[in-house]
Every structure is written in structure tokens, then in C-alpha cells.
Amino acid sequence: MQFSLASLVYGHRRRALAPPLNATFESGQIVAILGRNGSGKSTLLNTMAALLKPISGEVRISRGHNDDSLEERPLAVHQMSVQERARWVSILLPTAETPPLTVQELVSLGRLPHGNRPLGASNLGESSSGSLHPVEQALELCGISHWAARKVQTLSSGQRQRVMLARAVAQDTPIMLLDEPTNFLDIEATDEVFQLLSHLAQQGKIIIVATHQRDWAQRYAHQVLWL
């Protein structure tokens, strides 16, 4: 699978923040977006996720390379319905909001695009196939299973950041867009997050990360996009 920017111009109120971008990202890759504050990293991610309209150009998903059949033609992200898009692309954005939910309930919201309801404790455990439920798996992968019953409001900023990452993992999309996912985290926790992203990329996901962590980006990213 490929996720591509085709002559993409992004910005605010028709004011472009950069020249047209052309880039292609492949399954299994981590892509780091680096740049100064105000360079447009967050705006670019929001445009990739169709939360903002591009000034011009397109964001495309290509599912295969076999032929030019209807099934194989690129999908334009901005032309998808909200629910369809949420099955392809998840996004983690910085937020100061603290919803009155438990960690488990918040992470389970990632399953809504798949038609699942938010979960209570009785819904977790093994699925009929014998594997862990996606929410429990996300909690485990992010190392926060022991917080499942805690209220999100009781957590520190760094802990909440990991919960929001777990929600994106539970959404289980082939493309993940992450805006500063290591905000508020110490060095050890930051390294754990990038190791998790590397694990997800090895499973075939496309991981695109806007970050100031240049050293971690150089260590883990397959591509670096400078703004």
C-alpha cells in the first residue's frame, strides 16, 4: 500500500505554507516530519487526515499495483466519508481536553469506526478467535493495562499522551498520523514509544510522525520530510 501527496498545497485561509509537495510513503515505513515551530507540521498532518482541506492537490491511498481496475485506483482521502476515512487513517493530535472517562473507555473509542461500542470491563478478554480484544491489545502494547480502570483526569500529561496513543493503536488503521506523540514524556518513555512505532511499522503500517525529536527520527525513520 502507498500513501501519497500529489502536488499538495496546504495552509490556512488559502495562504500556502510551503510549495507543492510530492511524496510517497510505503507500507512498513516510519516517516518523520521535522521543522521549526510554525513551519506547518501540524497543518500538514491535519490536511493528510482531511481535517483541513488542501488548497490544491490531493492526498491519495493506493491499495495495490496490479492493474488499473477500479479496485486498484488511488482513493482520494478528502472524498471519503468520515467513517470510511477513519478505517484507513488515524490521527493523534495534541489536546488539553480531559474527558470524564476511564482509560479503558477512552481507548475503546478507537473502535467506533469499526462499528464497535465503547467497552466496559465485562467486554474485554479473549475474542472468539482466542486472541486478545483490540482494546486490551492496545493497552498492553502501550504498557498501560494497569491504568485501565483509572479516570483519565487523574493522569499526568505524559500518561494521558500514552492513553491517546493507545486509542490510535486500537483504531487499527493502516496509516497512522501522530503529532508530537512523545510530548511530556521522559527519555525512557520516548524511546519506548518509538520502539512501539517501529513494531507497528514492521506489521505493515505507515507511521507518519511530526516531531522535534531529531535524534530519534534519525534513528527510527525510513524517510524524513523537512519543512
Q: For residue 112, give the DSSP letter.
A: G
Distance of CA 22 to the CA centre of its chain: 20
- pLDDT (tens digit per residue) in 149-164: 999 999 998 899 999 9
The β-bridge partners of 21 are 8
Torsion of the alpha carbons at 115, 74, 165 and 142, rounded to the nearest 10: 90
Distance of CA 134 to the CA centre of its chain: 16
Sheet holding 30-34, edge to edge: 89-92, 175-179, 206-210, 30-34, 223-226
**Which set of grid coordinates corresponds to residue 15?**
495562504
Using only the alpha carbons of the chain, give its radius of gyration. 18
pLDDT surpassing 70 at residue 112? yes
Residue 99: predicted pLDDT: 80
**Residue predicted with more confidence, 47 or 158:** 47
The CA-atom distances, in angstroms, between 132 and each of 126, 137, 140 are 5, 6, 10
Residue 126: predicted pLDDT: 45
**Residue predicted with more confidence, 94 or 143:** 143
pLDDT surpassing 80 at residue 22? yes
Single-letter amino acid code for the residue at 143: G
Query: Is this structure's pTM higher than 0.85?
Result: yes
67-80 average pLDDT score: 76
118-127 average pLDDT score: 48
Matching residue, cell 492526498: 59
Percent share of the chain, pLDDT over 90: 69
> Predicted confidence band at 66 (pLDDT cuts at 50, 70, 90)?
low
**Which set of grid coordinates corresponds to residue 221?**
525513520
Residue 128: predicted pLDDT: 45
Residue 121: predicted pLDDT: 43
CB atoms within 10 A of CB 214: 12
pLDDT surpassing 60 at residue 84? yes
14-39 average pLDDT score: 93
